[in-house]
Amino acid sequence: MPELPEVETIVRALRPGITGKTISHVEIFWPRSIVGDCGAFINHVTGREISEVFRRGKYICLLLDDGGHLTIHLRMTGKLIYCPGEKDKKHLRVRFLFNGNTVGVGSKSPGECSLHFIDTRKFGKCQLWPAGEALLPALGPDPLDPGVVLDVLKKITSTRAIKTVLLDQHLLAGIGNIYADEALFAARLHPLTPAREISSIKRGRLSRVLPVILAAAIENKGTTLSDYRLPSSSSGSNQHFLKIYGRDKQPCPNCQTLIRRIVVNGRSSHFCPRCQKNNVPRS
């Protein structure tokens, strides 16, 4: 599942390839991949030049030359792939064709390239935000911005589990299941710890490790567990460095105690029962 580091990796790869290019054609193969009316989407987007490519939480954002934005959320299985040929036709949902003066990646002719939005489970969404309309207004601040995580954690008065809070995109934008578990392990916090009961020492610890873990994952070009790929269709390598996520019943890298998996807020959560002690009744 693409989270902040995966989306950041994709944005960095996309930026030199499509900035300054014009969207010459859009083809929609699964209409529900578009938020709102498909015809209006095509009409607005076609002929627009890409002014900027950036990330906001888990959203890939394209600033268009008319001041509007095109956002893409990959959810679980979404991918943006340059010129993948015909082999992924089965899961192709939207195809963007670009032309312009910059050098296309994997393109047949100079300045031209196509970008395929491929999404097995069809949960991903493309959305148009007209000029003047606030972009993603409900999204919280970015956990990579200095001081942000500590500020947010300080303000929490909620009794909700810290795992739930980390996944709440209104509070912090971009953290998903993998990096929430990794950060809680590094901070030695049990996922069910009520957020407002976390001591200032542990709050400090969590706010320190979270940006480091995210930055390291970006360095590794993201975590490829199944679907996630770079636009070149190559894999990330951060999966080799995960310490807790997906390691149910395997020994903790710190103390060899067997890692446990529980469900918090409907999401699977992995933790070490010894390193991540619980103040709360029950494991």
Partner DNA sequence: CCTTAGTCCTGCATGC
Partner DNA sequence: TGCATGCAGGACTAAG
Catalytic residue numbers, as ranges: 2-3, 58, 267
Tell me how many residues contact DNA (CB under 7 A): 28
281 touches DNA (CB under 7 A): no
Q: Give the pairing of strands 112-119 and 92-99.
A: antiparallel
Name the residue nearer to DNA (CB basis): 113 or 206. 206
Q: Of residues 73-132, which lie at the interface with DNA (CB under 7 A)? A: 73, 75-76, 90-91, 120-123
Q: How many residues does the chain have?
A: 283
Of 48-56, 68-76, 213-221, 235-243, which segment contacts DNA by CB under 7 A? 68-76
Q: And the tokens for 191?
A: 């996922």
Query: Contact with DNA (CB under 7 A): which of 6, 8, 13, 57?
Result: 57
Q: Which of 85, 132, 134, 159 binds DNA (CB under 7 A)?
A: 159
The reply on whether position 278 binds DNA by CB under 7 A is no
Q: Please, which residues have CB within 8 angstroms of residue 109's CB and are 6 or more apart in sequence? A: none
Which residues, at least 6 apart from 33, have a Cβ–Cβ distance to it below 8 Å?
93, 94, 117, 119, 122, 124, 125, 126
| Contacts (Cβ under 8 Å, ≥6 apart) of 72 | 59, 60, 62, 78, 80, 117, 124, 125, 126, 127
- Least distance in Å: CB of 98 to DNA? 26
Q: Is 155 in the site for DNA (CB under 7 A)?
A: no
Using a 10 angstrom Cβ sphere, with 0-12 exposed, 13-18 middle and 19 or more buried, the burial of residue 269 is buried
Build a one-symbol-per-residue string for 234-273: x at contacts with DNA by CB under 7 A, - elsewhere.
-----------------------------x-xxxx-----
Q: Which residues bind DNA (CB under 7 A)?
A: 1, 32, 57-58, 73, 75-76, 90-91, 120-123, 138, 158-161, 164, 167, 169, 176-177, 263, 265-268
